[in-house]
Amino acid sequence: MANSNAVTFIQAFKNIIPPLGNKLHKGQAGRLAVIGGSLEYTGAPYFAAISALKAGCDLVHVFCVKDAATVIKGYSPELIVHPILDSTDCLEQLKQWLPKFQAVTVGPGLGRQEGTLKMVAEIIGEVRKLDLPMVVDADGLFLIGQRPDLIQNYGKAVLTPNAMEFSRLYTSIMEEELAPQNDPDPQKVVRLARQLGSCILLKSQRDIISDGEMAVSCEVHGSPRRSGGQGDILSGSSMTFLHWCFNCDKWLEDMEMYPSNPAVLATYAACVLTRTSARLAFEKYRRSTTATNAIEHIQAAFEQTF
């Protein structure tokens, strides 16, 4: 799908946004989970979780290590925080919670402790058993580079690497050296997505999305200020939109208007929202723009876009 059809994509997404109304109950627009957060990295899971809420879901739970929990709770009372990732019965506790969720993000602020990564590998297996849409970001991508079998042929998984992370994944999985590129070849994204059997969203000068069959480019103007945390905004909003798209029956009503894989539409919409939020924030804060400023503008970006 080419950029000339971007308007069609935006219109398609507008048609599946859950309408607001007095008859809705809490959780209907999304009960989601972020798996991540370590002693050193507490901001990333917060950014992802709060962005999912700001994008329109109802509830977000964060599952992190014990030392990160109090800090993340202190960022916002809106988030439900579980300090269990480093507990001995983590998997058993999570098995009780996972069936309650409709989408999951794995990786923000996760860290690379061997024990944590081993636990997260098992969690990904449980997510697949429940057939939940899943975003894999940050250190979750490091894990996939070591264990691509974890998401092999799982069409509801979306990997969100930046240029450096993509080059590492491509080199490792395709066994072909690839240097990081500011303007990457879309066919490389298609090849890797086809090899993995999952969707890839490559964050770069232009965002490229592929499910192994098609490549979609998002070139909406964003912010020239590249502060940390914008990728977490993208992963959080993608999680919300994945839930909306995979739980919508409109693909059955009008197949020509929608891509064959709902993940492509969800991630494209999240790219547009994230870039627009960052641009609006930059127009106000200029060189001082941070991820927090972009989050403040999610609602304005949502209304402007959708």
Mean pLDDT per 10-residue section of the chain, whose length is 306 residues: 65 90 85 96 98 98 97 96 96 96 97 93 97 97 96 97 95 92 90 97 95 93 92 98 86 61 94 98 97 98 96
The verdict on whether residue 225 carries a ligand-binding annotation is yes
The verdict on whether residue 142 carries a ligand-binding annotation is no
The verdict on whether residue 206 carries a ligand-binding annotation is yes
Whole-structure pTM value: 0.94
Whether residue 139 contacts residue 111, with contact meaning beta carbons closer than 8 Å, is answered with yes
The verdict on whether residue 74 carries a ligand-binding annotation is no
Tokens read off for 175: 């066994």
The verdict on whether residue 166 carries a ligand-binding annotation is yes
Whether residue 297 contacts residue 236, with contact meaning beta carbons closer than 8 Å, is answered with no
The verdict on whether residue 198 carries a ligand-binding annotation is no
The verdict on whether residue 229 carries a ligand-binding annotation is yes
The verdict on whether residue 58 carries a ligand-binding annotation is no
Q: What is the pLDDT of residue 25?
A: 81
Closest CA to 35 of 124, 99, 112: 124
Q: What is the pLDDT of residue 24?
A: 79
The verdict on whether residue 56 carries a ligand-binding annotation is no
The verdict on whether residue 63 carries a ligand-binding annotation is no
The verdict on whether residue 277 carries a ligand-binding annotation is no
Tokens read off for 126: 């449980």
The verdict on whether residue 194 carries a ligand-binding annotation is no
The verdict on whether residue 27 carries a ligand-binding annotation is no
Q: What is the pLDDT of residue 4?
A: 47
The verdict on whether residue 207 carries a ligand-binding annotation is yes
28-249+263-305 falls under which CATH superfamily? Ribokinase (3.40.1190.20)
Please measure the distance between the N-terminal and C-terminal CA atoms of the chain and give it in whole angstroms: 20
Kindly report the three-state secondary structure assignment for every residue of 237-303: HHHHHHHHHHCCCHHHHCHHHCCCCHHHHHHHHHHHHHHHHHHHHHHHHHHHCCHHHHHHCHHHHHH
